[in-house]
Amino acid sequence: MKKQLLAFAFMSVLILLSAYSCGGEDSDEENEEIPGTVFATYNTGLALGYVSYAPEREPLIGEALAGLEADVICLQEVWTEDSAKALIAAADAGFKYSWYELTLEESTGPGEPACTDEEADPLESCVDEFCSDVDAANITGCVLQNCADAFGALSQECSGCVVANIGKSVDEILAICKEGTEGSAGEFAYEGHNGLLLLSKYELKNPEFKTFESYLNRRVVLNAEITIEDGTRTADVFCTHLTANLSDVNYAGEYDSWAAEQAMQIDGLIAYIDEQTDEEHVAVLMGDLNCGPEMTDVVDELPENYAKFTDAGFIDPYVESEASECTWCAENPLTGNDAVNNVIDHVMFKGVTDGLDYEVKRLFDQPVEIDSDGETVTSRLSDHYGVSVKLPSLYPDISGDSK
C-alpha cells in the first residue's frame, strides 16, 4: 500500500511539474510586452512672467524628459529659443530628433500708446504696494492674486498690450504701453514665438507647419512623418497648442470670443490633418487643446469645441479610460486659486482600428522641490500634467487592421 501511495505521489508531482512548466510558458507569452509606440504631450509652462518659477523649473523639466519612456513627445510653452535648445540638449540621449519652428515677430518700432495714465495708474499703484519685491519671472501670479480688479478694469487695448509684453518687468511693460516706446507695436507675446517643440526617437520626415489666426499668442501646428515598427508603418504626427479661454484677459481679436477663436482653429486643424495625412497612415494629434469633456471629478472646458474632434472621428484613449485624472488640476500649486479640474491635454488618433487596448498614463504629476530666492518651495514641474498613450502595434495580428 505504501508503494502504491508513493507511486501515486510521485506521479502527482510529475503532473504538477509538467503543468507548472506549461503554465510558465503561457505566462511568459501573456506577460510579453505588446509592441507599440508611445506618444506624449506636455505643456511645460515655461511662460516667463506668467507661470511661476519658470527659470528654476526648466532644468528639472529637462531631467524629467531625459528619463521619459516615450517615442514622440509634443511640448508646448517652450517660449524661447534658448529654452528649446536647453531641453533638446537635456533629452538628447532619449530623443535623437527634434524640431521647432521660429515664428518671430518682426519689430515695427514704436507704436501708439495703448494705456492712458488714468487706467494704468491704479494697476501701477497696486503692484507697487503688493508686488514690488517680486521678480519679473513670477509677477503675474502676484498681480492676479492682489490686483485683479485693477487689471480687469483695463481697456481691451491696454490689457492686450500688457499681456503681449509679459516677461518684462512691470516698469518696462507700463513704459511700453503708456508711452508707446519701442516694442509697443508687437502683436504677440514672447516676440511671436509659438512655443512648440517636437522630440522624437524616429526621424521627423517632411516637416511642415501651419499658422492659425490668433490673438496675443502665436498659434501653429507642427506636422511631420515618422516611420515606426521596423520601417513597416508610417504615422503623420501633429503637435499644437490652441487658444485658451482666458477669463482674466479681455479678448480683442478678430472673433467674438476666445472660444470662437479656438473653434475656428479646430476647424482649420481638422481640415489640415485630413489634407496632410496619407490614407495609409495613422494621424496622431498631440497637444494642449484647451478644451475637454466632463469626466469623473473633471469639469468640462469648451465641450462643444472638443466635440468637433470626436465628431471628426478622432479617438482619445486617455479620456476614454476610466482611470484618467485631470491634467489641469486645482491641487497643482501653479494653477492658481480659482482653478478647477480639467482634461485639456490630449493624444488623439485617427485612422486606427476600433477596440485597440491602449496604455495611458498621466505624466510629471509628482511634487518637486524648487530653490527660489534662497527658499525651498514645493511645486510641480509645470502648471499642467502630461499625458502619454501607447498605440499598440499596427501589425494585422495585433490590431486586426489589414492595411
> Who contacts 212 (Cβ-Cβ below 8 Å, separation ≥6)?
219, 220, 221, 242, 264, 265, 268, 269
Kindly indicate the confidence band of residue 19, based on its pLDDT and cuts at 50, 70 and 90: very low
Q: Which helix (H) or strand (E) holds 3?
A: helix 2-31
Kindly tell me if the per-residue pLDDT of 326 is higher than 90: yes
Kindly indicate the confidence band of residue 284, based on its pLDDT and cuts at 50, 70 and 90: very high
pLDDT of residue 134: 76
Q: How far apart are CA 124 and CA 8, in angstroms?
A: 93
- What does the pLDDT average to over 31-49? 85
pTM of the model: 0.84
Helices marked H in 53-155 — which ranges?
54-66, 81-90, 117-130, 139-146, 148-152
Give the three-state DSSP class for 135.
coil
- What does the pLDDT average to over 124-152? 78
Topology (CATH) of 36-105+193-399: Deoxyribonuclease I; Chain A (3.60.10)
Q: How far apart are CA 381 and CA 403, in angstroms?
A: 40
> Average model confidence (pLDDT) for the chain?
85
**How many C-beta atoms lie closer than 10 Å to residue 373's C-beta?**
10
CA atoms within 13 A on the CB side of 286: 34
- What does the pLDDT average to over 250-267? 96
For the chain, domain boundaries: 36-105+193-399, 117-179
pLDDT of residue 245: 96
Instruction: Note the pLDDT tens digit of each residue in 73-125.
Output: 999 999 999 999 999 999 999 999 999 999 987 655 566 788 888 888 888 88
Q: 120-124: list long-range contacts, CB under 8 Å, 24+ apart.
A: 120/154, 120/158, 120/174, 120/177, 120/178, 122/150, 122/153, 123/147, 123/150, 123/151, 123/153, 123/154, 123/174, 124/170, 124/174
